[in-house]
Amino acid sequence: MDRKPTVEELLTSTLEALDGLLCVIDRNHRIILSNWKAHQWITEEEKRQPSYCYKVFKNLDAPCDYCPPVDTFNDGKPRTYEDRNPIDGSFKEIRVIPIFDDRGEVVNVIEYVQDITKRKQAEELLKLTQEKFSGAFHYSNDAIVLCDLQGKIIDVNQQALSQFARTRDEFLALTIFDLHPGVERDAAKAILAEVINNKYARYEIDIVNKRERVYHAEISSSLFEIADQQIVQFVIRDVTKRKQVEEALKKSEKEYREVFESYLDIYFETDLKGKILTVTPSVKEIVGYDAAELVGQTVFDVYSDATVADEITFRLTDQGRVNNFEVELNKKDGQTIVVSVNANLVHKGDLSVVKGTVRDITHQKKLETERKELESQLARRHKMEALGFLAGGVAHDLNNKLSAIVSYPDLFLYKLPEESPLREPMMTIKRSGEEAAAIVQDLLTLARRGVTAVEIVNLNTVITEYLGSIEFKKLSERRVDVQVKSRLSKRLLNIAGSPVHLSKSLANLVRNAFEAIPLNASPAKLFISTENRSIDQKKRGYDHIKEGDYVVVTVTDSGDGIATRDLERIFEPFYTSKRMGRSGTGLGMSVIWGTVKDHNGYIDVKSKRGKGTTFKLYFPITRAQVTEECTELRNKRIHGQGERIMVVDDIAAQREIAQTILRELGYRVITATCGREAVSYLKNNPVDLLMLDMIMPQMDGLETYKEVLKIHPRQKAVVVSGFAETKNVKQAQKLGAGPYIKKPYLIEQIGSAIRKELDR
């Protein structure tokens, strides 16, 4: 059977089970019973000896000045008080409980002591935190709203009252959701739930105040606990002005970007070494490079002349800017353009940045060059017209005077006997008169009054007859060292003109070429050629040659060449670098000028000192004999059988010529002025064959043919051009196009090519 513990044992185990210190004290402050908790330093011997509470617990020699147990002994009431131990600085909570005897008098008191140091420290920290929070809460520049977990507002600071234009009582009657307008209320509920779950949330939302003013707010929300109550704090900052500034900044940046990206010129920023820091997208249109390709590269890399970089750098460092500095740039595709550079050197602290613009002035420079050339040509033309007017007046008067000089010697010679000594002088007078008459004829040609009869002429015939003439044979006999060669086109087209004047102009050119070649020169060569040539675009030369079909006569010599200063004046009357009177009248080149202009033609001259000279005379072709030629060719099986042919050419004259020839050959003809018009027509109107010009603006012949093949994959076509056979022509033929026809058109050539393609 188990033994029951004694009362003393039960008391001892009970005392040991307590967390705090328990001791029983008599009226003399002597400890008569204790569990000595938290007083491990007291030895067993000290525990057995009489001990006093003030000595043991506070190391005093006498009772405390204020002793709560004494009051309990006196009035019999229990007490609880807090005390700080001077020995270790700990805080204690002490409960004093009286023990009564049978008579109801207090004989002893129980002191139960618990260590509350941690609690006191927590309370002090909480008090300090609350004081700090109270200051931050009440004096914050942001509105602060406190609410419970259901969103009911329980407190606000002074800034919230001002910001929302409400009183504290008005606030306490609201929920946090009432501060959000319309659809934002649902958003506010979701945000409160997020704060409760995640302890924190930060967001921007629209808020409305009492005056119905909606403003944009930045809100920081957090969850914390005060006095065992969970509180949600909303710190609300009015960021309306900031948002307005941000929106204005975005708008400004957008507008700047739009201006930056739509800038037609190139805007750039570089360092002093030319490294590109930024450049507008317009650089792609002008130079061919993407902006991203150039950033980080050196701007001087695209200069055609590397020495220009040194000049620009010097001006920037010396003067701080460059104005309208013209420089040539290499485009990505290898072409060269002329640009005008304007730039300033800007200092940003220790950094120096070059900011500037580049404008493409290639077209402007081209126009300036053309304007100068046109002005020069116009001045030359006016000069020639003035001289021609003068020459015409002189020729008119001389003709009247020469009638007697030329006619009377003939009469006298007719009457004089053969043995008369006067016959020789009279023959001299006659020859001089005839030579003077020839000069008058040249003057009339210069005055552009010499061509009186126009007929159909083939320049091959004119050249062949001249090369077989006595005049040319005498010239060749005097200069047997000069090799004369010719290459005359077998299918040369005709022109309308005067054979006499054309022959004389050719003779003048050949004679000048002979005289330009020094004696015993090596090589000593003269070359004459003819060809048909179609000009699709204006050709710049000594004359500006308009679009059209021409017969071109070329005379090239290996002589000394013509000095640049003389080229501008070679067609003026009596202007020569040779001795006057030794080699003609001084009107030879003027006659050539007048004759070409009388035939509505053009002259081009190329010459280089020591390398010889080339003259090219352009004469418009005539189609006067087209109908007769077509009639003759009908029997050559090149005529059509009513097939539909579309002629696509951007030049009206070319379309009309092709249409006339094709109709005469028996075809039905439709014309289109450009590739787009042709493609549009062919979508709903098939044709048997396309006659397609390769050189057209916007959509050229190759692109047109590609588009047509999408509609009619087996469309037959012939391709034509005024140029030699190009890559585009060959590529079109690889796609399925037929023969290539070179302008100007020859009837047999067109008929044969079209018939061949149609019969393929």
> What confidence tens digit (pLDDT) does each residue in 387-396 have?
556 555 565 5
| CA nearest neighbour of 271 among 349, 358, 347, 360 | 347
> Of 552, 558, 559, 556, whose CA–CA distance to 488 is shortest?
552
Rounded to whole angstroms, what are the CA distances from 187 to 148, 181, 626?
A: 18, 10, 88
Give the SS3 label for residue 158: helix
pLDDT of residue 210: 65
Q: Say if pTM beats, i.e. exceeds, 0.75.
A: no
Q: Determine the pLDDT at residue 629.
A: 47
* 626 pLDDT more than 50: no
Cβ distance 222 to 200 under 8 Å? yes
At 65, the pLDDT band (50, 70, 90 cuts) reads confident
Section 165-181 average pLDDT: 82
Identify which has the larger pLDDT, 85 or 649: 649
* Best-predicted range by mean pLDDT (51-65, 90-104, 524-538, 698-712): 698-712
Residue with tokens 């059209």: 548
Measured CA to CA, the distance from residue 216 to residue 181 in angstroms comes to 11
- How far apart are alpha carbons 276 and 357 in whole angstroms? 13
CA atoms within 13 A on the CB side of 590: 29
The predicted structure's pLDDT at residue 462:
92
Cα–Cα distance measured from residue 81 to residue 99, given in angstroms and rounded to the nearest whole number: 18
Q: Which residue shows structure tokens 């040249």? A: 442
Question: Is 708 in contact with 736 (CB distance < 8 Å)?
Answer: no
CB 621, CB 495: distance < 8 Å: yes
pLDDT of amino acid 587: 67
Predicted confidence at residue 256, as pLDDT, reads 59
**C-beta of residue 547 within 8 angstroms of C-beta of residue 696:** no
The yes-or-no verdict on residue 403 having pLDDT over 60 is no
Q: How far apart are CA 377 and CA 369, in angstroms?
A: 12
Residue 320 has a pLDDT of 83
pLDDT tens track for 194-215: 888 888 888 777 776 666 667 7
Strand partners, 544: 540
Looking at 187-201, 289-303, 548-562, 629-643, which range is the least confident one?
A: 629-643
Mean pLDDT confidence for 125-136: 57
Q: Does the structure show a pLDDT above 90 at 40? A: no
Q: Where is pLDDT greater, at 424 or 677?
A: 677
Quote the CA–CA distance of 192 and 68 in Å, as a whole number. 51
Report which of residues 278 and 185 the model is more confident about.
278
CA 343 to chain centre: 19
Structure tokens, 525? 């060569």
Instruction: Please identify which residue in the block is written with the tokens 């006619």.
Output: 407
Angle, vertex CA 270, rays to CA 265 and CA 276, nearest 5: 80
Report d(CA 705, CA 298) in Å as an integer. 43
Q: What gap in Å lies between CA 738 and CA 760, rounded to an integer? A: 9
Q: Is 247 exposed, middle or buried (0-12, 13-18, 19+ CB in 10 A)?
A: exposed
Q: Which residue has the tokens 């390769």?
A: 694
Show the tokens assigned to 742. 């070179």
Q: Could you tell me if 151 and 176 are in contact, meaning their C-beta atoms sit under 8 angstroms apart?
A: yes
The verdict on whether omega for the bond into residue 620 sits within 30 degrees of 0, i.e. cis, is: no
* C-alpha angle 396-398-404 in degrees, rounded to nearest 5: 120
Other C-beta atoms closer than 10 Å to the C-beta of 352 total 13
CA–CA distance, 622 with 616 (Å, rounded to integer): 19
Answer whether residue 49 shows pLDDT above 80.
Answer: no
Residue 228 has pLDDT above 80, yes or no: no
Which of 219-228, 333-342, 505-514, 672-681 has the weakest average pLDDT? Answer: 219-228
SS3 content of the chain, % helix, strand, coil (to 5): 45, 25, 30
Start-to-end CA distance of the chain, whole Å, equals: 134
Query: Cα separation of 114 and 119, whole Å?
Result: 11
Q: What is the mean pLDDT of the chain?
A: 79
CB 610 within 8 A of CB 404: no
- Tens digits of residue pLDDT in 24-34: 888 888 888 88
Return the higher-pLDDT residue of 407 and 192.
192
DSSP letters, 219-269, are: EEEEEEEETTEEEEEEEEEE-HHHHHHHHHHHHHHHHHHHHHHH-SSEEEE
SS (H, E, C) 330-377: ECCCCCEEEEEEEEEEEEECCEEEEEEEEEECHHHHHHHHHHHHHHHH
Higher pLDDT: 234 or 584? It is: 234
Give Cα separations from 149 to 27, 174, 175, 291, 669 (angstroms).
55, 14, 11, 56, 90
Cβ-in-10-Å burial (0-12, 13-18, 19+) of 614 comes to middle
Q: For a pLDDT cut of 90, what percent of the chain falls above it?
A: 15
Average the pLDDT over each of 73-82, 224-233, 325-334, 403-412 and give the range with the smallest value.
Answer: 403-412
pLDDT tens sequence across 414-463: 667 888 888 888 788 777 776 666 666 666 655 554 454 568 899 999 99
What span, in angstroms and rounded, lies between the C-alpha atoms of 205 and 200? 16
What local confidence, expressed as pLDDT, does residue 634 receive? Answer: 46
691 in Cβ contact with 717 (< 8 Å):
yes
**pLDDT in the model for residue 581:** 43
pLDDT at 173 over 80: yes
Given a cut of 80, whether residue 700 has pLDDT beyond it is: yes
